[in-house]
Amino acid sequence: MFVTDAYGQETAPSTEGGHGAEAPADAGHAAGTEVPAAGGHGEGSFPPFDASTFPSQILWVAITFGLFYLFLKKVIMPRLAGILDVRESRIAKDIAEAGRMKGEADAAVAAYEQELAEARANANTIGQQSRDNAKVEAETARKSIEASLEQKLAEAEERVAKIKATAMQDVGAIAEETASAIVSALGGKSAKADVATAVKSVRS
């Protein structure tokens, strides 16, 4: 191992009077504790690169690595595993929730489409029923109007027939009177029965 320069330069304490002969011995002892001269063991080498310290360095590296490995295994890795488990469970929960919401959305869309189809079918049915009812009502109204017109036409024909009969009766009487007047004007005489018979024969 290295010895500091301060330690190498230390000297024995000086003695008082009569002991001057011991100074060379102490000086020799101090000189023996100095840092080895150039070319000696360990002179000028960096401790990590000193071959004599390799075993201790390897030992400390192994100890340090072992402690670091234990720290990772006992502290870091469990925490990372816990974090990963939490995230995995959260992701799985989110995926399950998304799947559930998607299922609900699909069910809602299917129900909406079914209701829309039923509404269209009901609308078509109602429209068809309305058209059928309108046709029935129109047909009933037409028949009613036709019956009313036929009744009015029959009544009108009956009135026309009565008027015609009345008119024909009036025409016969007028013809008889006219014929009687003409015969009288011509100076002839005719019986009323003869004139009526003659008029009836002409009318027939």
What token pair was written down for 6? 């301060």
Residue 14's nearest CA partner among 31, 27, 4 is 27
Burial 166-200 (b: 16+ CB within 10 A, else e): eeeeeeeeebbeebbeebeeeeeeeeeeebbeebe
What is the rounded distance in angstroms from the CA atom of residue 30 to the CA atom of residue 23? Answer: 10
What is the rounded distance in angstroms from the CA atom of residue 141 to the CA atom of residue 183? Answer: 61
pLDDT one-digit tens code per residue, 88-131 = 999 999 999 999 999 999 999 999 999 999 999 999 899 888 88
pLDDT for position 113: 93
When comparing pLDDT for 14 and 50, which is higher? 50
What is the rounded distance in angstroms from the CA atom of residue 74 to the CA atom of residue 82? Answer: 12
Residue 175's nearest CA partner among 192, 196, 156, 193 is 196
Rounded average pLDDT over 179-193: 66
Residues in Cβ contact with 151 at an 8 Å cutoff, skipping those fewer than 6 apart: none
Rounded average pLDDT over 188-195: 60
Contact between 73 and 48 (Cβ < 8 Å): no
Q: What is the DSSP string of 175-189?
A: HHHHHHHHHHHTT--
pLDDT for position 87: 93
Q: What is the DSSP letter of 16?
A: S
pLDDT one-digit tens code per residue, 32-77 = 444 444 444 445 567 777 777 788 888 999 999 999 999 999 999 9
What is the rounded distance in angstroms from the CA atom of residue 71 to the CA atom of residue 19? Answer: 63
157 alpha carbon, distance to own chain's centre: 75
Q: Write out the E strands in the chain.
A: none
